[in-house]
Amino acid sequence: MVDWLEFSNAYRAPAQHLVSVLLAGAIWRWGGAPERWLIGIFLATMVLPMYVLWGFNPSPESQGIVSGIYTMLDLVAAVLFVAVALNANRNYPLWIAGFQLVALGAHMVRVMVESAAPLAYAILIIGPSYCQLLVLAVGFVRHVLRERRFGPYREWRQSAPFARGLQIRS
């Protein structure tokens, strides 16, 4: 049992990255604009930076800087995921944005509370990305099935009806 846990933990990140790249290929072929934006944000903020930082081979003394970079990336991802979620004509991007806000909240807790358990912090930072990938995969499959069954549908929400009525006319 322990060997399986050690094996899965050793290859957890590369497996997640491989799945995200494969999902990106499928989304780029069959997905809509919201799916493409979501997987693009995921790859740009959660996959690519890991390999860029790995290429620089940061020293143990620079872990504070690396942690700050990951916090900024999570902040950028949260803003972008929320923007997509509020404009997409789908419900599942709200879950993806919510999971990102959990990761961002974990960063804030670590800054405010020195005695936060490292394992809890790691789970709250790393865990949401697996959930986001799962939700994105399920949402993508549901999008493809819906398009096959009902045909194309709009990708983005139209402006709210009340917003058009609030325009000032001179």
Tell me the backbone φ, ψ of residue 88, rounded to 5 degrees: -75, 145
Which residues, in sequence order, are bridge partners of residue 156?
88
Which residue type does 37 have? W
Query: What pLDDT score does 3 carry?
Result: 73
33 φ/ψ sector (left φ>0, alpha ψ -120 to 50, else beta) = alpha
Query: What pLDDT score does 22 carry?
Result: 97
**Overall average pLDDT of the 71-83 stretch:** 96
**Overall average pLDDT of the 69-80 stretch:** 95
> Which pLDDT tens digit goes with each residue over 94-140?
999 999 999 999 999 888 887 878 888 888 999 999 999 999 999 99
Q: Which of 8-17, 51-60, 81-90 has the highest mean pLDDT?
A: 81-90
Retrieve residue 164's tokens: 């058009």
Nearest to 21 by CA among 3, 40, 49, 45: 40
Query: What pLDDT score does 164 carry?
Result: 57
CB atoms within 10 A of CB 42: 24
Query: What pLDDT score does 54 carry?
Result: 79
End-to-end CA distance of the chain: 73
**Overall average pLDDT of the 76-95 stretch:** 96
